[in-house]
Amino acid sequence: MMDLPNGKKTELGLYLTAVEAYEFIKKAGSNFLFIDVRTQAEIAFVGVPTVIDANVPYEVITDWNQWDEKEKIFKMTVNDHFVNAVESRLMEKNLDKQSPIIFMCRSGFRSASAVNLLAKSGYKNVYHLIDGFEGDKALNGPKQGQRVVDGWKNSDLPWTDQLEKAKMYL
């Protein structure tokens, strides 16, 4: 495993790249849960893997008037219903806390935090998809600063911009 930035490390230490996650999913049948932890807006405007089980945002925007000056985004807070929503999705698939779960976000930082939150709730088999849906930013070259390095979308894995209501967080 490559050396990860601190923000992408998890307490459980279970890591997958997008390509590895897709291979895992193809072999696992239905005995796992694949959650996209991005916001509903991200999924609506950027797309989603065709093979996710559900969207459960790790963070949500609760007040559109709050701005995070450092990150240059709307202020987001941890979703108070995150753990319960993941547990509901597990039950829908007749899975439990010991079942494998894969979390994915845009680039791998929020999903690491989501893994750590579930670890605190007693989960032990939660994987972090380290390069996320969009991947990392290029450090140099003509696409410097753009999310073109690895990730689900950049690895040409199956994704869509057509959402399924049953999979979305409502």
Question: Based on the number of CB atoms within 10 Å of its own CB, is 94 exposed (0-12), middle (13-18) or buried (19 or more)?
Answer: exposed
Q: What is the pLDDT of residue 2?
A: 61
According to DSSP H, which parts of 33-156 are helical?
A: 40-46, 82-92, 110-120, 151-154
> Is the distance from CB of 57 to CB of 39 less than 8 angstroms?
yes
Summarize the confidence of residues 136-159 as an average pLDDT.
Answer: 90
> Is the distance from CB of 61 to CB of 169 less than 8 angstroms?
no
Summarize the confidence of residues 51-67 as an average pLDDT.
Answer: 96
- What are the pLDDT digits (tens) for 95-144? 999 999 999 999 989 999 999 999 999 999 999 999 999 988 888 999 89
Q: Is the pLDDT of residue 8 over 90?
A: yes
In the chain, where the domains are located: 34-157
Q: Is the pLDDT of residue 86 over 60?
A: yes
Specify the CATH class of 34-157 in words. Answer: alpha beta
Does this model's pTM top 0.95?
no
